[in-house]
Structure 1
């Protein structure tokens, strides 16, 4: 922390992802309310991306093996106990995605705000849509919902920052039912709604990266796992709504890489587990992008074994589950 109260000494480390988790959360919380520090981090991020592009080299053949070995050996530190611990964890992940998207939005020129982004007619429409989807969680957390205003970034950012601030001091559970964002009215737990907010904020940051001509960025493994769990839990109901339910059948979903793991997805919302008739294997990050509707061809995005029709049905429905 510098003498003027701004953590300027952390801006460079934050821009290249070199902060400790505590430092990253501290700087992100400060930058949400400090335009100067947010702009400094954004500027340093642009420099870092330019340097990385200009000096990129082919990695050593053994790099992937060494990185995977280190990742498997790593163990996440134990968090604080109590009913609010999960809310604080999810709030921190959501706050990181909010800070990332805000930094990208600050880099946009006036004309770029009018460029189509993802499924939306403009970046402005994207931010208005995101603020509206965040409003359900804001209301559940006791945050005053922000009305639409002339500056969509400021309104979205203020509401999102208030949600993060509330979750930082949360001391209750996350079981209360709330409506998820999306085309259909689905009520799930507040915990799942928070996972969805982090998910959608990440995906829309990716949409803005496309507008800015920047490479994609992947969240950490824990957030990818949260998103995959949410999607796998919603798939049976989505299959039924799409008319593709297969009673007594299930698909084994094998996700690889960071956030990976095996999940059994019933093809119909029934009490008894179905018989596994197919297996779908794909990277966890790709599955998350598929669920967000950001992959062009669902069947071609995975390796399929067993009953191809059941697997293709699952992938096709998964690709329609985005909040947009």
Structure 2
């Protein structure tokens, strides 16, 4: 199986991964039959496509109780999937891909989320799942003809298309984990080849998360080491306009998966497990402000 086709549902075939109350063993054969591999797309977009396939594999196993259970932000699983469809649709609109679901009215993330959630409340959970997957697949196929260096604007944020797509992959990964945690399911992480570019995006966002939190890191440099498959080392200038890093003022070493979840707002900065050295106040500021861009 190609890495991009590694579906989370494979983990559900292991006895320890099956929760007691909802994803019953007798449902697994049907769920495996309903799973679909990632849509064909550009190689640089495969981290996103892989997370879509993983979420879809998890949804294939959901029963009525799972769809009605609150996951995050007060949203049920069905409303969470509608939220993902809404944000995928905003990126699709920015690059000229088909926008599915209700007519595009609001162009901000929460406004569009409310539109799509209202539309999907009149539909069955399985229809919502198909609508979200169709939107994600349409986006993936359109990305096959584009460059990651193309520019896109989503929710008022201008940036390289490749970064927007990695952000969609990170959010889909985070929300897949949200849903799995509520269901009591243990899922494998993405393959290292997909973790690496996601971690790189998270590292490059640190100057912006600091600035958005009221801290200007101009002239300061962070040596960031992320361990585990897909990790690496970064010498990060902490000013958004800094042209190049200098000598490191502070160093942070942490697990790459945990770091991605910190940026995604799923790990408390105050207790985040990391080795710090150099300017400890600066290192703590980096960790404290890291989730600044996370949201619903």
Deviation (angstroms), 1:255 = 0.7
Taking only aligned residues, the RMSD between alpha carbons, in angstroms, comes to 2.6
Which structure has the larger Rg? 1
Q: Give the distance between the partners of 1:52 and 1:112, measured in 2 at CA.
A: 16
Q: Cα 1:300–1:174, aligned 2, differ >3 Å: closer, same or farther?
A: closer
Contact 2:227–2:254 (Cα < 8 Å) also in 1: yes
Which of residues 178, 185, 195 is equivalent to 2:152? 178
Alignment partner for residue 196 of structure 1, among 156, 159, 167? 167
- Distance across 2 between alignment mates of 1:278 and 1:299: 18
- Corresponding position: 1:294 with 2:266: yes
* Residue 116 of structure 1, aligned match among 55, 70, 93: 70
Q: More relative contact order in 1 or in 2 (CA 8 Å, sep 6+)?
A: 2
Q: Mark the runs of 5 or more structure 2 residues left unpaired by the alignment.
A: 19-40, 102-115
- SS of match in other structure, 1:117: strand
1:58 maps to which residue?
none
Counterparts of 1:137 and 1:50, CA distance in 2? 38
The answer for the alignment partner of 1:155 in structure 2 is 131
Correspondence list, 1:219-230, <5 A: 219-230=190-201
Q: Is the 8 A contact 2:11 2:187 kept in 1?
A: no
Q: Structure 2 CA distance, aligned partners of 1:138 and 1:131?
A: 10
The 8 Å contact of residues 117 and 211 in structure 1, kept in 2 or not, is answered as: yes
Cα deviation per residue 1:250-307 (whole Å; 9 max; x = unaligned)? 2111111111111122232123434421100001111111111111344532111111
Could you tell me which residue of structure 2 aligns to residue 38 of structure 1? none
TM-score of the superposed pair, with normalisation by structure 1 = 0.70
The corresponding residue for 2:112 is none
Partner of 2:42: 88
Whole-angstrom distance in 1 between the partners of 2:17 and 2:202: 34
TM-score between both structures, scaled by the size of structure 2: 0.76
User: What CA distance in whole angstroms lies between the structure 1 residues aligned with 2:198 and 2:82?
Assistant: 23
For structure 1, the 5+ residue unaligned runs are: 1-18, 29-40, 54-86
Deviation, 1:163, is 1.5
Q: 1:218 aligns with which of 184, 189, 214?
A: 189
Relative distance call for 1:196 and 1:300 in structure 2 (3 A) is closer
* Contact persistence 2:198–2:260 (CA under 8 A): yes
